[in-house]
Structures are given as structure tokens and as C-alpha cells.
């Protein structure tokens, strides 16, 4: 439940194309299945890492998108901004602490919820919304290999989670969809966009799920700030004590750096 693959850093669609070509070549050469699998995994990271302006092809077999299908990482506000995103909750151990810190430092965040966690903790989902934060669909099963599954499976994972989050929140807007581990495909992006959810990526990944130590986490986020505004952290899926300890100094540090808290573009 905890690993949002940090391999989603490739901003080059060209490189993704090269990787896909490598996959085809590998298949033709009938090399070992494990090698093919590894290359496919790279290819999916390439899809997830495409820039917001990447060309997208609409699949006529799926409902048409109502928001931009491209993966968003940029802020909806201008100027120097930061977008906090918290994945894999809500979790009664960590989400209340995250909400308290965000309130203390007048920060906003996107909470990427799995359907079952939302269904188990509707009180927390309602608190998230009441505090002015935004909801994001993070699938039902958190299957990081979802991009290799049939489209029918992908649709069910996305829409079943959306229904569970809808029910938990009382029908509040779900602004984004974030594929577990960044396992996006064009079809997955279209399914989310057809239901009004902007596909959400990230720029800054300190790999908090690996629990590298609070100081390392803080340093890693600070060092990556130049990459872009959207920070990937977790308030569920494991022990998030270090993440909460890291947020405490990081939230005022962003403000001291002249950043204001924004949200990723949703349109
Ligand atoms: Zn996740």
C-alpha cells in the first residue's frame, strides 16, 4: 500500500518512445520474460512522466474526457508555490496529525485516498474537506502494476474508489486521480478525465515510505524544491511518524522560502 514508485521522473516523451521500441525489439528477439517485464515497467514510468503538454489520444471506446487528460504537476496559482499531496490514507494514526500541522501553518493539501480507507474513515474524509483541502482518488487496491491490467479492471479500480470516496465525503468534489505508483496509461488517464478528475503526478519525491529518517526527509524535500511545486508524501499505508515529524519544520520552511500553498491545476 505504501510505494508510489519514485521512477516517475522522466519528463521526456521521446525517451518513453525509445523504451517502448526497446520493448518491441526485446519481444522480437524472444529474450527472457523477466527482461521484457523490466522494460515494460520502465515504459510505464515513461508514460507517467510525460510532460503536461504531451499529445494525448482519445480512445473512442471510452467516455470522452471532461478535463485535460494530461498529468498535472504545476500549480493553479502563479508565483512561487508548493502543492502538498498526501497519499494512501486516510489513516486514524496519521491523518489527524497531518490536518493539525496543515492548520497550524495555514497550509493546504491534496489527500489521495484509497476507496477502502475512505469507506473505513468517513469522519476523516469529512474533516479533510471541511478544512479546505482537496480529495483525490487513489484507486481501490493500490495495484502499482495496474497499467498492465485490462481496461475493464482499471475502470473498476478507479470508479469503485470514486464511489466509496463519494459516499464517505457526502458527494464532495474529487478533483484528481493519482495512479498508484504512477501506473498511468492513456486509457487510465482518459477514464479519470471522463469523470472530472485531473491526473495527478508529482515533482518532489523524498521516498518517505522507505522511512529514511526525519532529517533525510527534510533535506531531500529542500534539495528537490527546484524540480517543481508538487510534493509526494504519505499519511497512510504504513508508519508515517517520520513524515509527520518532517512536515513540522518543512511547512514553515516553505513559507520562509517565499512559497505559498497552492493546489495542482484541476481543469
Ligand atoms: Zn500510494
| Most confident listed range (4-8, 30-34, 158-162) | 158-162
Domain extents in the chain:
59-261
* Å from CA of 107 to ligand 1 middle: 21
The per-residue pLDDT for range 161-181, each reduced to its tens digit, is: 999 999 999 999 999 999 999
Q: Is 264 exposed, middle or buried (0-12, 13-18, 19+ CB in 10 A)?
A: buried
Query: According to the model, what pLDDT value does residue 10 have?
Result: 34
Q: Judge whether 87 counts as a catalytic residue.
A: yes
| Residue 4 pLDDT level (bands cut at 50, 70, 90) | low
Task: State the average pLDDT over residues 40-46.
Answer: 34
Q: Is 64 exposed, middle or buried (0-12, 13-18, 19+ CB in 10 A)?
A: exposed
Query: According to the model, what pLDDT value does residue 51 have?
Result: 45
Check whether the bond before 90 is cis (ω within 30° of 0).
yes
State how far the Cα of 2 lies from the Cα of 131, in Å rounded to an integer: 25
Query: According to the model, what pLDDT value does residue 57 have?
Result: 83
- Selected catalytic residue, list 4, 87, 88, 235: 87
| Residue 261, strand partner residues | 82
* Å from CA of 219 to ligand 1 middle: 22
In CATH terms, the superfamily for domain 59-261 is Glycoside hydrolase/deacetylase (3.20.20.370)
What are the residue ranges of helices labelled H in 55-196? 95-104, 115-120, 122-130, 151-169, 186-194
3-state SS, residue 137: strand
Q: Judge whether 91 counts as a catalytic residue.
A: no
- Selected catalytic residue, list 133, 138, 142, 234: 234
* Å from CA of 67 to ligand 1 middle: 22
Amino acid at each position: 500500500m505504501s510505494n508510489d514508485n519514485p521512477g516517475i521522473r522522466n519528463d521526456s516523451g521521446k525517451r518513453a518512445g525509445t523504451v517502448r521500441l526497446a520493448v518491441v525489439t526485446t519481444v522480437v528477439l524472444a529474450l527472457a520474460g523477466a527482461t521484457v517485464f523490466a522494460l515494460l515497467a520502465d515504459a510505464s514510468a515513461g508514460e507517467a512522466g510525460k510532460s503536461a503538454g504531451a499529445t494525448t489520444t482519445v480512445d473512442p471506446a471510452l467516455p470522452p474526457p471532461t478535463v485535460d487528460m494530461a498529468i498535472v504537476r504545476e500549480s493553479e496559482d502563479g508565483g512561487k508555490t508548493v502543492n502538498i499531496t498526501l497519499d494512501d490514507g486516510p489513516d486514524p494514526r496519521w491523518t489527524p496529525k497531518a490536518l493539525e500541522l496543515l492548520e497550524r501553518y495555514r497550509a493546504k493539501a491534496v489527500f489521495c485516498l484509497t476507496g477502502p480507507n475512505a469507506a473505513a474513515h468517513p469522519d476523516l474524509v469529512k474533516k479533510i474537506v471541511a478544512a479546505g483541502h482537496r480529495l483525490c482518488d487513489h484507486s481501490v487496491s493500490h495495484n502499482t502494476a495496474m497499467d498492465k491490467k485490462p481496461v475493464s479492471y482499471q475502470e473498476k479500480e478507479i470508479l469503485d474508489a470514486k464511489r466509496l470516496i463519494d459516499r464517505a465525503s457526502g458527494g464532495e468534489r474529487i478533483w484528481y486521480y493519482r495512479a498508484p505508483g504512477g501506473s498511468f496509461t492513456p486509457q487510465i488517464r482518459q477514464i479519470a478525465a471522463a469523470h472530472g478528475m485531473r491526473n495527478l503526478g508529482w515533482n518532489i519525491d523524498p521516498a518517505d515510505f522507505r522511512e529514511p529518517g526525519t532529517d533525510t526527509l527534510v533535506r531531500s524535500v529542500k534539495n528537490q524544491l527546484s524540480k517543481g511545486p508538487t510534493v509526494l508524501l504519505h499519511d497512510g499505508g504504513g508508519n508515517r511518524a517520520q513524515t509527520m515529524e518532517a512536515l513540522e519544520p518543512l511547512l514553515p520552511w516553505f513559507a520562509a522560502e517565499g512559497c505559498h500553498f497552492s493546489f495542482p491545476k484541476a481543469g
